[in-house]
Every structure is written in C-alpha cells, then in structure tokens.
Chains A and B, each alone.
Chain A
Amino acid sequence: MVLFTDDAFGAKLLEAITAGLYDGNLNCLREYVQNCIDSNGNKVNIDFENRRTVLVIEDNGCGMSKEELAEALHLGKSEKTDTAIGWRGIGIWSGVPTCRRIVIITKKRNHSKIRVEINADKLRQQYTLNISAIKVLTDVTGDIEELELGSEESIQESQYTMVRLEEILPNQRTIFTEDEIRKYLSRVVPAPFNTEKFTLGKEINKRLLENGVKTKEMDIFFEKQKIFRPPYSDDIFFGKIIDKKFIVNGVTVAYGWLLSSKNNRKLNPPNRGIYFKKKGVTIGSENLVAGLHGGNYNQWQYGEIHIITDELKENAPRNNFEANNDLLDPFYDQVGKFVRQLQLMNQYQSHNIVTNSIEQIKKQLDVDEVKPAREKIIRLKKKLQRKRSFPKEPALQEMKKVIDKKSATNRTSLKALGKKVQDKMKEQRPDRIKEKRDRFTEFIKTAHPRLKKHLEKTTKKGKMELNIDAMEPVKILLQQKTGLTLDTICKLSQKAYDWKRVQKGDNGPILLLSGPYRDRLFGVMIHALHYMFVDPFKHEKGKLSFAFYESMTEEEKIDTLTEFHMAQNLILRLIEKSNRIRKP
C-alpha cells in the first residue's frame, strides 16, 4: 500500500516553511543574499524601487537555466554542495510573508533570459485551506516565461539573477526601511571589514585565514553603498586581539577572535556582541553566545566565533545549530565557560581601570568643583589598593598585561590629579577674607581702649566670633562713668529711657549727650545694640538673636563682626563724651 501521495502534504505545511521558519521578516534578505553568494558572482546589488515598495536583489553570478530554475523552486531539495551556504532549498520562498509577488529573473550564459512569478498574496490566502500543498504551489507559481533580450545584453555573455520582492505589504514597510536593512545586512551577511576605519581588520583577516576560516566575502551594495561588517572603529577597543580555539575531542570546532572595550561600559551596537558565524553568515544573535553562560555577562567585547567543522550544522532559521551530533553540547559548554572568564576579566578591568572616573575628575577640576573631586580621588585610591584575581583562561593572559599597564598609567594620573587638587585648594582660599581680617585688625589698633583691650583678649584665643561678652566694654565703661553697679544701671536706664515705649521717664536720662530728645535715642541705641547681639536669654546657638549670624558665610560674618564692633566703638566714644548729670 502506498502511504504517501502528493495529497499527503497539505497547504498548511507551507506556512510553517515560509512565514514560520524565517521568524524576523528581514531574514528573507539573508536567504536571498546567500543564494547570490552561492552563485559564484562577486557582487550583489540590493536596491529599493518605487519609493521602497519594491526590493530588488541582483547578483552577477552564473544564473540559471530553465531546468535549474524549476529545480530551485522545489521545496527542501538542493543540489548545492557543502561548500555552499544554502543547502536546504527553501530560501526562494522566504519572501512570501513580505510582499505581493516574488519575481525571479535569471540569465545563464548561452541560455535565454527567463522569469517566474510567485503570487505570494495567493499563497498566503491558501495557507489555511485544507488542500494539497502541491496544488497550491502549482496554483501560485506562474509559468517560466522567456523574456526578450535588450540590445545591451548578449545571449552568450550576460549572466545574472534578480529577485524582486514586489509591492512590499503595508504592515512590512516599517521593517523594510533603509536603516533596518542596512543594520541587518551588516550584522548578518559575509561582508568585509572597512579596514580604513577598522585597521585591526587586516590583522584579523590574516588570523582567520591562518586558522582555517574560509569565507566567501562579497561586495554587497545596498542603495549603492557598500556594506561592511562591524566593528567600525579601532579606538574604542584595546589594540590586543584575543584568539580562542574551541576544540572538542581533538576536533577544532571553531576559531574565535575578540576585542575588548577600553571603557568600562557596555559597548553600543553595532560594535557590540559575540556572534557565531558559519561560512561568514551570522547564526543567531549576540544573545545566543551571551546566554550560554548562565550568569550575567556585560557585553564589553566584540567578537566572532567562526565554526570551522562541517559537522556542526546550522538549523533552518539559522538562529541556532542542529543538536543531532556529539559536538554541540561540549562546544556550547566551552563557549559558556569562556564567556564566564570574559565576565571575570571585565570585573578585573572594572576594578583596575578607572579612566572614566579620571575623566570625570578632570572635568570637575575644570569647573573648580574641588571638594567632590578630592573625595572621588580618595575613594578611587582606596579602590585601587584592593587586589582582585584575574581569570585563569590562557587566551586572556595577554589581556592582563594590557589591563595592568593601563591601570598603572591610571594610578600615575590619579597621583598627578591629587596634587593638582591640593594646589587648587590652597589657591582657592579667597584673598578677600584675608583682606577683611587685616582691615579688622587695623581697626582694632585705633579702637576705643576699652574695646581694644577686650578684643585683644578674645582674638588672642583665636576666636573671632560674636559671643555673650561682646558688649562687655560698654557695660564696664557705663559702670565706670556712672559709678553704679550694673543692676542699678539697668534699672535706671530702663526707667529713664523707657526701652519699651521710648518715652521720657520721670527720672530723665542719667547720661547727657546733647538735647533731651537725642539723649533718649542715644539710650535706645545702646539698648538696641545690646539687645540685638547679646541678649543673655537668646545667646544660645540657633536662638533668634544669633540665628541670622550663624547662617552667614564666613565673609559675611567678618563683615558683620566688623560693623558691630565699629558701632560699639562709636557708642563707647559717645558714652565717653557724655556727662554724669544726676546722682541717684
């Protein structure tokens, strides 16, 4: 009994191998570019047409005859050998989810120019129908038609293949943008390095060859611009290339090269990530490699791990490898451990290299933020004193030297910065304050003898502050002048000057300066000064009379102090000039 006939394969299968297989929709580009590479041309042009509604992928490879094209349309059959990148024979259909029509136009030498059109619209509509896949494929694929040659083409010489994704669907237009396509291509297809911007590329190419990595690099142009693969810059990396061979059971499975970031921070795409490559084509994303190590890995490296052995095959969507062999698990294990070592190296680097912080300190010093800079330097010095171990991975040992060397330069520049900070701090003690202190001492020299005596006593102790003694000279002078005790003076003057209401009291002033009105004000003045600064009930820190003073800057304090003593000086002189008019 025949179990399987053509009817055994339903249309629903077709969705799985077109839409389902190539998860991201740009992945069809990879499939078509691979076909271009396999066709042995040296150039691929990818261009938009009609305001990004059509995408054309054209190579100058060998093209196909009618029979070959018919064969290429078959699903899951491929005549391609192992040296080719594509080998499953489904790539042609990968564009089905993206557009209304896939058109293939091809010309082989000494063959006619032919064209076939796949009605992708119709195919998508028939995914869900319960009919035979063969029927659907026949229905949606047009006949292979011969096309007329233009006067600039020749039947003998012309050869090319052009794939046209026509009328890209509206819901795909956000993906099929210039930016996205350029990013995608540079990440995935076997493009060369831009060795003008990435000079290390030359050395890497050499090492790849030495280690048996054979890739057919192609000149791929998108919208007339050549595609290069990352990285695109030298100066973000340490110049040291890390080599790593992955050997399982004596078989070299892969060769990898990596560059490590100079700066202690995650690199930015596209110059970030470690990628598996097979025959130059990227397999999976940066997360595939990063994820093989269970823990956290901060991506401070860019690198490629090229699969050398043919035994390790990529799966159809090219997002991972086939697991049907003995190599994959031990290989993945090795890669995971290696990533762990990289992470340890990153930690070592983060500990020993403080370039970023040094840059910050320099900036702070430029804008005279001396204090925070000084604190930072102290912290960094402490950090650098602590020792950390370096991973044992032999491939990374050279990097230890590089990092240590950098660390040493860091230390010296940190020292230099420390000195600079000290100089700045000396410099920064402002001259004005000094000037004002000098002026104050000048003033003391010519002050009233009582005040002079008082101040000499206090400033000797080094305290240029307001305190409860501040009005002491006035009190002493008053006692002397009136011959009364302090208590009596207080009572009398309260009565005489009526401090609360400033009215003439019964007993009149006890000291006379000029007319009666001014004498009252004179008394009030003495009291006000006394009250403002030295009210014994409010002299505690933070209490009203001192609060205004405490909140001042150093400069303001000196100003206030000077002014207060000058006023006090005036009062002393006025008291001196006054006459004792009445005995109590």
Chain B
Amino acid sequence: MKILLVEPPYYTRFPPLGLLKLASYHRSRGNQVKLVRGFKEDLKFNPDRIEITSLFTYAWKPVHEVIKFYHNKFSSAKIRVGGIYASLMPRRLKSFFPFIDIHIGLFEAADDYLPAYDLLNEVENWKKWDSTILFTSRGCIRSCPYCIVPKLEGKIRSVVEDLERHIYPNHKRIILWDNNFFASPNWKKILKDLQNIGLPVDFNQGIDARLINDETARMIADLRTPLIRTAFDNLHEKNALTNAIEVFSQSGIRRRKIFIYTLYNFYSEKYHSDIPATFFERIKHIADLGCVSYPMRYEPLTSLEKNSFVSPLWTDYQLKMIGKARRILGYGGAFPPYKGLVKKFEKAHNFEEAFSVYPLKGKDSKIQPLTQQPKIILKHAT
C-alpha cells in the first residue's frame, strides 16, 4: 500500500514527529510512504491512503487547505487526520469534511517506533534537521488548567527504557519533549544514559522548578545543555523557583542560561487568574534573580485565532504594552537581566511604569492603573 503523509504548511520549529513515527509504523507493515509539507503538485506517487497531522487549534486553516487540496487530487484515497487540532476539535473538522477519518489522541501502536527521520531529506524545510526528538515519558503529574497535556496524555508514565537505541544515527543533539521530565519514574536512569551518550540535551518543554534539588541540579549541570528552561506561571511558585535558581547556580549553571517562561493573560473562573500586577511582580523577581524571563501569552485551548483572547482582568492595551516592551526593551522576545532593564523594573511602581517604552509623563503618571484597584487574586467557586 502507498501512504502519503502530509504536514500542513503552518509555522513550526520542529518536524512532524508523529508523522515520522507513523511512517515507520506503516513501513513495518510493508507499505511505501512519502512525506510532504504543504501542497505538492508533482508527486509521482499515487497514495491509497493519506495521513494528515495538525498542530495548535489556531493553525487550523492550513490543515483545512491541505485536506481540500489532497482530496481533490486523490479523490479515491482515504484521508485520516490526527494531531492536536484534530484531537481537540474533531466535530468542527468533521463538519467541514464529513468524508475524513479522525484520530483522537495518541496513536499508541506507533509510539514505540523509531521515527523515519530519513523522510525529512525529501522535505525542503527539514533537510538539515539533525536532532533526535524524544519523549522518555508521557503525561504529567500536574493538572494546570491552562495546559492541554493532562487532557491529551493523562497521567505520567515512562515510555523509554534503553535510551541509546532511540537516538538516531549521526544526530547531533537530543531534544526532550517530556512534559515534566523529573516527575517521570525513570528520570535518573535516563539522565545517566544522557550523560553517557554525551550529546547536547535540550529539555525543550522546560523543567519543573518544584522538582529541582541538589541532586537533580548537579546532574543537569553535568549534561551539555544549551539553556535551561523553567516556568514561573503563578506567584505562589515563588519560593520553589527561587530555591531552584539558587541550587542551579550553586551547581555551576550560569543564571543567564536559565530561561523562565512567564504566563500572562490567563483567566479561569475556577483557578488563580493573573493580573498585570502579579505578572509584573514575577518579571521583577526573575530580573532580581539574574535570569531571563520569557513572557508567554495565554491562549485558550481551542482558540481559533492567535492573540485574540483578552482576559477580563487585563486590557488589550496592557497586553500590547508587553508585546511592545518585548520587542523594544527585550531581546528575541525575552527580558534578559540587562543592567538597565533590571534597574527599570526595580524603580517602577507599577505595571505601566515597568513596561512602558517611554518614561510616563504628566497626566499619564497620575493614572491609577486598573491593576492597582482590585488587589486580590481571584479564586472563585469556593
């Protein structure tokens, strides 16, 4: 059988891991596979089946377009769509394309296969790809309201035993996509294996600061890690974060190498939502610690348009201020602990002062920002 694997042409920094595993799965059943990104007119391949992946819900348009395109081109081929968008909004997808099959969630049968990275050689975007992407565990111990993982993958479990055989020959880097690496029951063995293999390791999804102690920090410091990612999404993680940074620092990891994702614009009726003041406090604290903060704007799980959601506790203007500050004051969307920037945050009395690109003058300075008024963190439904 001939199977065409399609990656819709949305923006992404990573090749379609799911499709690559699916490719190996199909090959193992004697099928011929071909991978394409976007629309390819001249394929020289007449598929019996077409498998299409999807990513974030707000990137739904390219998915719809490739379905249309390949359905027209190969009308007799059965089409199946999987991935995040398809898993989260299957009914929406089906209403547009009643003729397709939809796969929801993980395709467990293919999960253990070594991805067919060799297919990337034929895709212009991914020709130079040289990193092994790896889940050593699936799921997470947390159930953060803004995160899709618990819903898609469920409870944490280890999925890799012998790491070495999952590393693709000649790859130069390992990218871990574990949702919460140190919560995995097998983390110690995997970390030792990573040290033995000796390739640079990127904990791409970030490290849970609450699980960092002397031992974990030392073991991370022994790895070749380009940078450490962690998060500061809620103020009451402050102590855990401070502690983690101290421990990292003592293990010899430079503070500037630590990237801290900072969620903003999150709103939930049931859980802690954030407001500009608490966001500012977190950013300031990170600057004080000497680390890099990376603001992340909250997007609802089924958002169909990026950056369109505005929390009731934020104003559109405030959200735009952050965007502007990131572009003008920051570097690459992040706020590194530049001396001037740290000072600016230190001097600022409120959110507006901290993130305005120009010093506030006259009338503006007297405005009592909205964030100062309700000095509460909402916690509903109690």
Q: Which residues of A contact B (CB under 8 A)?
A: 49-54, 100-101, 103, 105, 113, 115, 117, 147-153, 162, 164, 166-167, 169-170, 173
Q: What residues of chain A lie closer than 8 Å to B170, measured between beta carbons?
A: 51
> A150 with B165: in contact, given A50-B114, A50-B118 (CB under 8 Å)?
no
Q: Which of A147, A151, A152 contacts B30 (CB 8 A)?
A: A147
CB distance from B50 to the nearest CB of A (A): 13
Cβ distance B127 to chain A, nearest Cβ, rounded Å: 14
Asked if B31 is at the interface of the complex by the 8 Å CB criterion, the answer is yes
Report, nearest first, the 5 A-B pairs whose CB atoms are least far apart: A150-B1, A105-B30, A50-B118, A170-B164, A150-B48
Contact for B116 among A50, A105, A164, A170, CB less than 8 A: A50
What are 29 sample pairs from A and B whose C-beta atoms fall under 8 A apart? A49-B118, A50-B24, A50-B114, A50-B117, A50-B118, A51-B169, A51-B170, A53-B114, A53-B168, A54-B27, A100-B165, A103-B28, A105-B29, A113-B30, A115-B30, A147-B30, A148-B1, A149-B1, A151-B2, A151-B46, A151-B48, A151-B76, A152-B2, A162-B30, A164-B27, A166-B28, A167-B114, A170-B165, A170-B167
Chain A residue at smallest Cβ distance from B27: A49
Q: B114 — nearest CB in chain A belongs to which residue?
A: A167
Q: How far is the CA of A173 from the CA of B165 in the complex (A)?
A: 10
The answer to whether B169 and A53 touch across the interface, beta carbons within 8 angstroms, is yes
Number of inter-chain CB pairs below 8 Å = 60
B2 touches A150 (CB 8 A): yes
Interface residues of B (CB under 8 A from A): 1-2, 24, 27-32, 46, 48, 76, 113-114, 116-118, 164-165, 167-170
Interface of B is mostly: loop
Chain A nearest Cβ from B66, distance in angstroms: 22
| Identity of the chain A residue whose Cβ is nearest the Cβ of B48 in the assembled complex | A150
Contact A150 B31 (CB under 8 A): yes
Complex interface: chain A residues within 8 A of B116 (CB): 49-50
Minimum CB–CB distance from A168 to chain B (whole Å) comes to 9
Cα separation A318 to B2 with both chains bound (whole Å): 39
| Interface pair A167/B31, CB less than 8 Å apart | no
Give me 17 other A-B pairs in contact (C-beta within 8 A), A115-B29, A150-B2 excluded: A50-B24, A50-B117, A50-B118, A51-B117, A51-B170, A101-B28, A103-B28, A115-B30, A147-B1, A147-B30, A150-B31, A151-B1, A152-B2, A164-B27, A164-B28, A167-B113, A170-B165
Task: Give A56's nearest chain B residue, CB to CB.
Answer: B27
Chain B residues whose C-beta falls within 8 Å of the C-beta of A52 in the assembled complex: 169
Please give the distance in Å from A157's CB to the nearest CB on chain B: 16
- Set of chain B residues within 8 Å of A173, measured between Cβ atoms: 169
Chain A residue nearest in CB terms to B28: A103
Q: How far is the CA of A115 from the CA of B200 in the complex (A)?
A: 39
A169–B118 CA distance with the chains assembled, in angstroms: 17
Which chain B residue has the least Cβ–Cβ distance from A107? Answer: B30
Query: In the assembled complex, how far is the CB of residue B305 from the closest CB belonging to chain A, in whole angstroms?
Result: 38
A199 to B95, CA, bound (A): 70
Residues of B within 8 A of A151 (CB): 1-2, 46, 48, 76
A147 and B2 in contact, given A50-B117, A167-B114 (Cβ under 8 angstroms)? no
Contacts of A149 in B (CB 8 A): 1
How far apart are the CA atoms of A100 and B160 in the complex, in Å?
13
Q: Give Cα A54–Cα B28 distance, bound, in whole angstroms.
A: 10
